[in-house]
Amino acid sequence: MKRKYYQREVIKMSCVMDVAEILDLLYKHGWDERNGGNLSYLLEEEEVRDIVKEEVTLKTFHYNFDLTPLIGKYLIITGTGKYFKNCLKDPSNNLGIMKVTDAHTLSLLWGYDDGGRPTSEAPTHLKCHIERLKVDSKHRIVIHCHPTNVICMTHVHDLDSAHWTKDLWKMQTESIVVFPEGIAVLPWILCGGEEIGEATAYKMKEYRSVVWAQHGLFCTGRSIDEAFGLIETIEKAAEIYIKICDKKIYQTISDENLQLLAHAFNIDYRKGIID
């Protein structure tokens, strides 16, 4: 009885609702069909106070790489095989709240009610958190999704990160403002594996956004809004690219226009792309 009451209280916690709502929105944008996509969110101690009080370990999950920088941290992670479209109506089957309890272990404190486990991309997420925290102590979230136009672009554009950055910056005025560090692009690599996790985390040393060719996008940030805003803005730029790439272009944003914009808004953009 006490446990049931506790389960209901956790579902009402605002961090669980915030995650469930953003997953629902990602689904409604068409960026996470079926079980596509996954999310992990570092929680503040304050947000999990009620769970910490109980701290019952329901299950443990083990990883063969070093989680030392995350020890003691709490995360919400989407479950493997789960559908984003179901998370809002049924958070406790689709999401799990975990604590990193030692260098190789995540302990489940709440969720995965039907016997689930963390997403197959959890190693990639955890490695990305470690890298982003090294460069930004306020970093909190990693979202992976399958935005249509970004994937389209990986079929018709080369996979050079500098070329992508320049072309996406030129699609709309907002791009350089929202992702001044640019965007990294990886070739097709087998998902769910060590190689793609290492390659993605490596790019995260310098970028908040990494494209996986013919697959999707990883975005990170200090907040759900920041990571979601990156996804929206990148996907919008890619949509414009896809709509105009085979049309006659009469005018575009010049390198000088971008420099002017960066100067006016005091944007510290990645050098070597437009200058």
Q: List, edge to edge, every strand of the sheet that includes 95-102.
A: 59-62, 105-111, 95-102, 74-78, 38-43, 141-145, 216-221, 209-212, 184-186
| Beta-bridge partner residues of 41 | 76, 141
| Radius of gyration of the chain from its Cα atoms, rounded to whole angstroms | 19
Q: How far is CA 104 from the centre of its chain?
A: 22
d(CA 22, CA 94): 14
Q: Of the residues 21, 54, 121, 131, which is catalytic?
A: 121
CB closer to ligand 2HA out of 35 and 172: 35
| Beta-bridge partner residues of 112 | none
d(CA 65, CA 164): 31
CB closer to ligand 2HA out of 78 and 175: 78
Supply the minimum distance, in Å, between the C-beta of residue 224 and Zn ion: 19
Applying CB under 5 A, the residues found at the interface with Zn ion are 216
Supply the minimum distance, in Å, between the C-beta of residue 198 and ligand 2HA: 15
38 binds, among Zn ion, ligand 2HA, none (CB under 5 to 8 A by kind): ligand 2HA
Q: Is 46 a catalytic residue?
A: no
**Long-range contact list for 164-171, CB < 8 A, 24+ apart?**
164/211, 165/270, 165/273, 166/273, 166/274, 167/241, 168/234, 168/237, 168/238, 168/241, 169/237, 169/253, 169/258, 169/273, 169/274, 170/252, 170/253, 170/258, 171/236, 171/237, 171/238, 171/240, 171/241
Nearest to 218 by CA among 31, 15, 14: 31
93 binds, among Zn ion, ligand 2HA, none (CB under 5 to 8 A by kind): none
CB closer to ligand 2HA out of 182 and 197: 197
CB closer to ligand 2HA out of 181 and 192: 192
CB closer to ligand 2HA out of 119 and 175: 119
CB closer to ligand 2HA out of 124 and 233: 124
Supply the minimum distance, in Å, between the C-beta of residue 170 and ligand 2HA: 29
Applying CB under 6 A, the residues found at the interface with ligand 2HA are 35-38, 119-121, 144, 191
Other Cβ atoms less than 10 A from the Cβ of 87: the count is 26
35 binds, among ligand 2HA, Zn ion, none (CB under 5 to 8 A by kind): ligand 2HA
CB of 182 closer than 8 Å to CB of 192? no
d(CA 259, CA 104): 46
Supply the minimum distance, in Å, between the C-beta of residue 26 and ligand 2HA: 11
Supply the minimum distance, in Å, between the C-beta of residue 71 and ligand 2HA: 25
Supply the minimum distance, in Å, between the C-beta of residue 210 and Zn ion: 12
Q: Which residues participate in catalysis according to the annotation? A: 121
